Structure 1
Amino acid sequence: MLLDWVTVRVNLEHCTPEVRHAAAQLGDRICRYCPKTGDIVYETQAWDSIRSDSHQVSIRCTGDLWIQGSPARLMGDGCAVFGSGASHALDVLGCVRRMIAFVTDYLGAGSLPPAEKWLVTRVDVTGNLMLGSQAEVVQALSILRNCEGGRYRVSQQAGDTVYWSHRSKHRSGKAYAKGPHLAYTMKKPDYTGRQYSPLEIANAMKLLRLELSLKREFFARNDWRTLTPQQLESEWRSYFERMIGGAEMANETELKDRILAAAPTEGQGKAAYGCWAMIQSQGWEKARECFSKPTWYRHLKILRSAGLGDADISAGKVVALRSKIIEAQMVDDWSQLAA
């Protein structure tokens, strides 16, 4: 796993006059004004992209100095597939410090405030799952595209990329095929990142990339300075593993037995299985209307405890290729991918 994106800001009152002056010179201005009177309604600063041979982050200055980008591209050889250093270690503080150091060198106006003074507003926690082939990755995406309900809302699709709750201020998800994305990105004329070999791109075609964005509301409730790698990994697993489910089902009889065994009482088990049968026959939305809110969520809890994922519940069936997604190997470096 890796941290693939970090957005961080610091109030200018914590900066020296030299830094404030240098930050004020950044970027173009975006201005809204009344054409009748010429009065300016508001003016803000556009993001200014900092590029070098292998790095890219963006900065802007409003009442705060903002930095955002991929910390993975600032570390090691700039590999944004698996990351290195603090990015690979899920070390938010280490990533923030590296990004601050990079911008400090760029501004050339003296030291920026220490990392502890900054506020994190977004972190992307990313995992790469290796499937058997590119075709299986495409099939897995078609399954995930239909996963809705509970915390999931398929909100936007671009090509083979699937987004969940992309407007949420708390957390959102994203799934896509990493190989084609990597090949497409490297063909861009303005690409300045790491040069991946043809073999690396070919191996990456088997990668299903799952990204969890933790956003402003999440960090309003959680102090980013105390977040551990284990907590970040747990957030990722909680989001995606509930979606996929945790056990392979051989047949409907086995599934019924699992549901009955997962329930606190025989009566609740039979009721939950009846709910599952209704989802199968009438669909998720219509079935939900037939139960009170507490009863519906009690049934869902039992179904999930039996091993069904939200993708199964959304579809009203144990989805195809489900077992392959469950058994997919999490890979953390190129050597695992090539094995």
Structure 2
Amino acid sequence: MLIDWLTIRAPYESLNPEALKVVLAYGDRVQRIDAKTGELRWETAAWDSIRSDTHAISVKAGGSEIWIQGSPARIIAQGDAVFGSGASQALDISGCIERMTAFVGSMLGITLPEPKPWIVSRADITENLRLADHAEVRQALSILRDCEGGRYRVSQQAGDTVYWGGKSKHRRGKAYAKGPHLTHIMKKPDYSGYPYTPEQIADAHQLLRLELTLAREWFARNDWKTVTPAQLKNEWDDYFGRMIGGAEMKTETDLKTRVMAAANTEGQGKAAIGCWALIQSQGWEAAREMQSKTTWYRNLKILRAAGLGDADLSRGQIVQLRRRVIECQTVTSWEQLARSA
């Protein structure tokens, strides 16, 4: 697991005079001008990449703050953004901020402040899951594309990538096949990032990458200075764990047994089983409309406690994704991936 993206900003008053002078003069400005009168309607700073060939880190001089965003993994050690290293792999937000600000400061010839005054508005928490082969990865993505209902709304599908949550300011998700992504970036003529080998690219075709974005509203409710690596991991587990489900079930009989065990009473268990049958026959949306809000959410709570994930509930069937993800491994290095291949 790694932090694959951070967006941070700091008020100008936290910068020393020399740094402020450089920042205010840095980068391009975008203006909107009235064509008839020549009046300047508004002006804003543009994001400028510090390392344009790899798009490692971008900087923007805003109206009252300096903004920095990008992948800390790409500027730590050799810049491996698949598994990360150092603070990125340790889910250490403070350490990532230190590395990003030191990198920007060295490129601009200035000293930027320590992590304390920086404000975090986005962090991407990413995990790599190894499946049997690329065909398994694509099949898992096919199942995930149908995962809707509840907190999940598929907002976009593009090739080997699925997005949930659209422009949510709280949390949003992304799943994609890592192998094709690496193949694509390595073909760019100006690429000069981490030197992935042909063997690593081939092994990466087994990887299903699941990425959780914690956005502005999440950090408005959670001060990053008190957020621990365990909390970040729990957020990822909560988001994708409920999607996949928590138990392996091979038959409807297995499910019924688990539902009855999860319910407080026999009547609630039978009602939850009836709700599942309704979802199977009528679909998620129709089944929800046919039950009261209280009954619907009670039934869903029991079905999820029995081990169903939102991927199952969306399809109205016990999907094979759970078995694949339970049997697969989380991998944290190229060496581990090569050994398990």
How does the TM-score come out when normalised to structure 1?
0.97
Q: Could you tell me which amino acid in structure 2 is paired with residue 217 of structure 1?
A: E
Partner of residue 86, structure 2: 85
Asked whether the equivalents of residues 55 and 193 of structure 1 are also in contact (C-alpha less than 8 Å), the reply is no
Partner of residue 67, structure 1: 68
- Residue 35 of structure 1 aligns to a residue in which SS? coil
Measure, in 2, the Cα distance between the counterparts of 1:235 and 1:64: 29
Measure, in 2, the Cα distance between the counterparts of 1:291 and 1:32: 52
Measure, in 2, the Cα distance between the counterparts of 1:246 and 1:134: 24
Measure, in 2, the Cα distance between the counterparts of 1:252 and 1:332: 35
Query: In the alignment, does 2:129 pair up with 1:105?
Result: no
Partner of residue 291, structure 1: 291
Query: In the alignment, does 2:84 pair up with 1:57?
Result: no
Percent identity over the alignment?
63
Partner of residue 16, structure 1: 16
CA shift digits 1:134-175 (9 cap, x unpaired): 000000000001101111110011111000002000010000
Measure, in 2, the Cα distance between the counterparts of 1:259 and 1:237: 22
* Structure 1: gaps (5+ residues): none
Partner of residue 212, structure 1: 212
Asked whether the equivalents of residues 53 and 191 of structure 2 are also in contact (C-alpha less than 8 Å), the reply is no
- Residue 51 of structure 1 aligns to a residue in which SS? coil
- Residue 116 of structure 2 aligns to a residue in which SS? helix
Measure, in 2, the Cα distance between the counterparts of 1:114 and 1:335: 34
Q: Deviation at 1:190?
A: 2.8
Measure, in 2, the Cα distance between the counterparts of 1:200 and 1:206: 10
Asked whether the equivalents of residues 45 and 61 of structure 2 are also in contact (C-alpha less than 8 Å), the reply is yes
CA shift digits 1:3-46 (9 cap, x unpaired): 00011000112112221221122222111222222222211111
Q: Deviation at 1:52?
A: 7.7
Partner of residue 184, structure 2: 184
Measure, in 2, the Cα distance between the counterparts of 1:36 and 1:21: 34
Asked whether the equivalents of residues 129 and 329 of structure 2 are also in contact (C-alpha less than 8 Å), the reply is yes
Q: Deviation at 1:54?
A: 7.0
Measure, in 1, the Cα distance between the counterparts of 2:235 and 2:254: 30
Q: Could you tell me which amino acid in structure 1 is paired with residue 77 of structure 2?
A: G
Measure, in 2, the Cα distance between the counterparts of 1:289 and 1:90: 41
Asked whether the equivalents of residues 127 and 210 of structure 1 are also in contact (C-alpha less than 8 Å), the reply is yes
Q: CA RMSD in A?
A: 1.3
- Residue 274 of structure 1 aligns to a residue in which SS? helix
Residue pairs, 1:1-339, within 5 angstroms: 1-51=1-51, 56-62=56-62, 63-109=64-110, 111-339=111-339
User: 1:85/1:265 Cα in 2 relative to 1: closer, same or farther (>3 Å)?
Assistant: same
* Structure 2: gaps (5+ residues): none
- Segment of structure 1 superposing worse, 55-64 or 69-78: 55-64
Measure, in 2, the Cα distance between the counterparts of 1:87 and 1:52: 21
Q: Could you tell me which amino acid in structure 2 is paired with residue 155 of structure 1?
A: S
CA shift digits 1:206-237 (9 cap, x unpaired): 00000000010000000101111111000000
Asked whether the equivalents of residues 247 and 322 of structure 2 are also in contact (C-alpha less than 8 Å), the reply is no
Measure, in 1, the Cα distance between the counterparts of 2:81 and 2:165: 24
The ranges of structure 1 where at least 4 consecutive aligned residues each deviate by more than 3 angstroms after the TM superposition are 52-55
Q: Could you tell me which amino acid in structure 1 is paired with residue 87 of structure 2?
A: A
- Residue 114 of structure 1 aligns to a residue in which SS? coil
Q: Could you tell me which amino acid in structure 2 is paired with residue 87 of structure 1?
A: S
User: Number of matched residues?
Assistant: 338
- Segment of structure 1 superposing worse, 53-62 or 277-286: 53-62
Q: Deviation at 1:189?
A: 2.2
User: 1:66/1:136 Cα in 2 relative to 1: closer, same or farther (>3 Å)?
Assistant: same
Measure, in 2, the Cα distance between the counterparts of 1:303 and 1:10: 45
